[in-house]
Amino acid sequence: MIQFTCDCCKRPIDPQRDLRYVVRLEVYASIDTSEEGLDDELDHLEEIQDILDRLEDPADLAEDEKLGDEIYQQKRFDLCSDCRNRFMRNPLGRTHSTLLGFSQN
């Protein structure tokens, strides 16, 4: 039997009595291109061949993987119900500034 653990609080999640929630996170670079910036003169087959040539060199492949993490990442987390509720209240994990109390003078 597969045992799940909450990725936030590390508490075991019993599938017989607890609900398990899955959070999928996808982060990618937003590249805005205008139609003016498109180059119809590009040889796309040549670009693909250059990429394939770079993939054959292990040093270039390591550099491409680093660059790939900068452009796109996907993560998956298992949460218990308590951590799911906390996540839904504050998905970005922002710290809330405390409200200042002023006297009524």
Q: Where are the domains of the chain?
A: 4-89
Question: What residues form DSSP beta bridges with 13?
Answer: 4
Q: How far apart are CA 74 and CA 93, in angstroms?
A: 18
Contact 61, 55 (CB under 8 A): yes
Question: pLDDT of the chain along its 105 residues, tens only?
Answer: 789 999 999 999 998 999 999 999 999 888 765 555 555 666 677 777 777 676 666 665 566 666 677 788 999 999 999 999 999 999 998 886 655 667 776
pTM given for the model: 0.58
Closest CA to 8 of 85, 98, 102: 85
Q: Which two tokens stand for residue 25?
A: 């996170």
Residue 59: its pLDDT value, please?
63
